[in-house]
């Protein structure tokens, strides 16, 4: 391994890329090996490093300590310990192979310093894709359960001719706009698409993905409970609900499958059932996607955050403007979504909250064991690092295989 003191700026960039810290490459593009070793904790408290580092440079400083230790061990093995080459004893000019001293002289002159074996550092953010698969399965089960409960609740919704819509202050202030709900669903699809692209480009996508799947699944599970317990009448006389099937389970299953295939959206024509009001699933998705987009994107992308916030807020307002949900449906959905997101991430970022104790009251929530399973090996706040799903080397290898096959033909 080349001595760090002799590293050029290009060597430093290669090392940062190899260690999985490409976010520092632009800031340290003129930094050579000696300058790299002179970095201290104080350097990460001021720009430009403070804008890049989300852990006060802790990860980079730890890798530098390991680099120093590794270099020292290599020097010791090569007879360069303490910064000098083993000399020729007593002025003798007799050297052996590779410029080293004779065996007896070497054993007499060299000091053997036992060095501890360095264990490879444990990754603080392991991928553990099987856990992401468990979270995805949990979310799918909750979505399917929601569709089944909507079909059951639809059979219990009172006819609008017998039970008119409940009074709502927002409906008193704003007349209904038929096009508004389409705007809401378009904004929702845009936010989901942006979040999907952003998630694919995240370096720690497995950890963040299972967080998203768990939170969205839990929110829809809560929604199953609230809308089954309390069935509200339709919010407006404009609703055209599908006819009740009165125990025809085969027809209900077809209706449930149609709703799942259409994503539960009215714009796709898959959602023609009534009764799923308390609370609003559209508000859940509009709010949750924005929270994840903002949490896992760089702080300097303020324009991106404001754009997504505008999409989210406009979509929520259009839900009410279309008179497709009561105001209380939207308020409850926003409250539960934001609190669950903030609670989960606070618990995930604090190591002490991952341990069951008398002082940790959050450990009493029903999903705490599942939370521990997902987050037990995640140490610290997940950094907002990005990388391509297929590395440049892998892409080069794929292209080389492709062209080698063409050449062989």
Which residues are tagged catalytic? Answer: 282, 325, 329
The torsion defined by the Cα of 393, 136, 301 and 390, in degrees rounded to 10, comes to 10
Is the sign of the CA dihedral 279, 281, 285, 288 positive or negative?
A: positive
Is the Cβ–Cβ distance between 4 and 13 less than 8 Å? no
- Is the omega angle on the peptide bond into residue 48 within 30 degrees of 0, that is, cis? yes
Q: Which residues pair with 202 in a beta bridge?
A: 386
Q: What is the DSSP letter of 262?
A: T
Is the Cβ–Cβ distance between 64 and 39 less than 8 Å? yes
Tokens for 24?
């520092």
Tokens for 261?
């295939």
Q: Look-up: residue for tokens 């916030």?
A: 309
Q: Give the end-to-end CA distance of the chain in Å, rounded to a whole number.
A: 41
Q: Look-up: residue for tokens 């989960």?
A: 344
- Report the C-alpha gap between 34 and 113 in whole angstroms: 26
What region does 242 belong to: left with phi over 0, alpha with psi -120 to 50, or beta?
beta
Q: For residue 208, which of 135, 257, 301, 145 has the smallest C-alpha distance?
A: 135
Which H, E and C letters describe 245-267, residue by residue?
Answer: CCCCHHHHHHHHHHHHHCCCCCC
Tokens for 147?
């569709």
């Amino acid at each position: 391994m080349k001595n760090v003191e002799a590293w050029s700026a290009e060597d430093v960039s290669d090392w940062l890329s190899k260690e999985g810290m490409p976010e520092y490459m632009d800031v340290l593009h003129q930094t050579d090996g000696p300058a790299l070793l002179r970095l201290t904790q104080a350097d990460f408290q001021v720009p430009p490093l403070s804008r890049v580092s989300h852990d006060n440079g802790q990860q980079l400083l730890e890798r530098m300590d390991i680099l120093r230790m590794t270099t020292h061990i290599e020097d010791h093995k090569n007879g360069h310990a303490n910064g000098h080459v083993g000399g020729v004893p007593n002025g003798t000019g007799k050297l052996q192979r590779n410029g080293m001293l004779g065996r007896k002289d070497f054993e007499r002159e060299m000091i053997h310093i036992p060095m501890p074996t360095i264990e490879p550092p444990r990754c603080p953010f392991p991928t553990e894709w099987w856990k992401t698969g468990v979270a995805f399965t949990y979310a799918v089960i909750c979505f399917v359960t929601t569709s089944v409960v909507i079909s059951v609740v639809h059979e219990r919704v009172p006819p609008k001719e017998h039970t008119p819509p409940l009074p709502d202050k927002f409906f008193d202030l704003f007349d209904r706009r038929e096009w508004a709900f389409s705007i809401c669903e378009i904004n929702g699809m845009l936010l989901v698409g942006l979040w999907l692209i952003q998630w694919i480009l995240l370096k720690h996508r497995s950890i963040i993905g299972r967080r998203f799947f768990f939170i969205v699944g839990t929110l829809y599970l809560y929604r199953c409970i609230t809308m089954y317990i309390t069935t509200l009448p339709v919010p407006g006389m404009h609703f055209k609900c599908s006819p009740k099937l009165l125990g025809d389970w085969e027809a209900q299953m077809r209706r449930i499958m149609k709703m799942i295939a259409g994503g539960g959206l009215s714009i796709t024509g898959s959602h023609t059932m009534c009764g799923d009001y308390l609370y609003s699933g559209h508000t859940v998705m509009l709010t949750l996607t924005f929270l994840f987009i903002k949490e896992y994107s760089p702080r300097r992308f303020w324009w991106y955050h404001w754009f997504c916030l505008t999409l989210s807020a406009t979509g929520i307002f259009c839900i009410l403007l279309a008179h497709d949900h009561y105001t209380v449906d939207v308020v409850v959905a926003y409250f539960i979504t934001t609190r669950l997101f903030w609670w989960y991430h606070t618990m995930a970022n604090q190591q002490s909250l991952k341990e069951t104790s008398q002082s940790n009251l959050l450990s009493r929530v029903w999903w705490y064991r599942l939370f521990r399973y997902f987050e037990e090996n995640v140490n610290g706040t997940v950094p907002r690092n990005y990388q391509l799903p297929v590395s440049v080397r892998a892409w080069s290898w794929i292209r080389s295989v492709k062209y080698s096959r063409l050449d062989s033909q």
